[in-house]
Amino acid sequence: MEKEQQETFMSKTEEKVTIALIILEIFIGLLGLLTIFLPALTTGSNNFEGVFTTFGGGTDGGMVKEFFKFSFGNFLAYFLVVASMVLSFIRLAIPKIDNLITKLVTVGILFVAGILFILCKQMTILNINTSMSIFKLAYGPLLAMVAAILDIIIIGVDIWFQKRISNLPLKEDAPKAISEEELRAQVMAEIEEEKKKEDSKNE
């Protein structure tokens, strides 16, 4: 009974920790997605949000209306973040799917997204006749990359915890307590055995 209770307790503990980690994973993924509204590129005097470097647009004091064209590479980075969040939701809703394979797939998606965020400047397509050298990578994609790394770490912690708790030794069932009558019977039997040994020696 004690062994069964311990297994149940460990299973519930594992489930609670996994749910908490997945929720944290989704929350950080959402923060990473929201970096699309933060500056992605800067010229020093002007900042251009990720929404412009991804979908096109960007103004320079009203003089230039369209700095950028649509960038599939930048779009893919944010799309992969959304894909990882959807996969996390599925893992949360359907525990059977939350296994090592789906976790590693999520890690792979986030890893690729993190690389694409760093390459934001290289993947941005200009709509004006100028050099990309005037632009520098701003903090938006860097924060998105950090969010992706944090999610990868969280998934790693989840994998480590599940392996750790599954390898914990279970206590063996404790011996059942004997009643007073059974104890007395055992003592009497031992006394009788001792008497028989003495009698056999005297003979």
pTM score, whole prediction:
0.74
Cβ neighbours, 10 Å, residue 144? 29
Strands 136-137 and 39-42: antiparallel
Q: Could you report the per-residue pLDDT of 106-122, keeping only the tens digit for each?
A: 999 999 999 999 999 99
The contacts of residue 109 (CB under 8 Å, 6+ apart) are 80, 83, 84, 87
User: CA–CA separation, 22 vs 104, rounded Å?
Assistant: 14
Tell me: the pLDDT tens digits for 7-49? 454 466 777 888 899 999 999 999 999 999 999 999 888 899 9
Residue with the bigger pLDDT between 185 and 45: it is 45
In terms of phi and psi (left: phi > 0; alpha: psi -120 to 50; beta: otherwise), the region of 145 is alpha
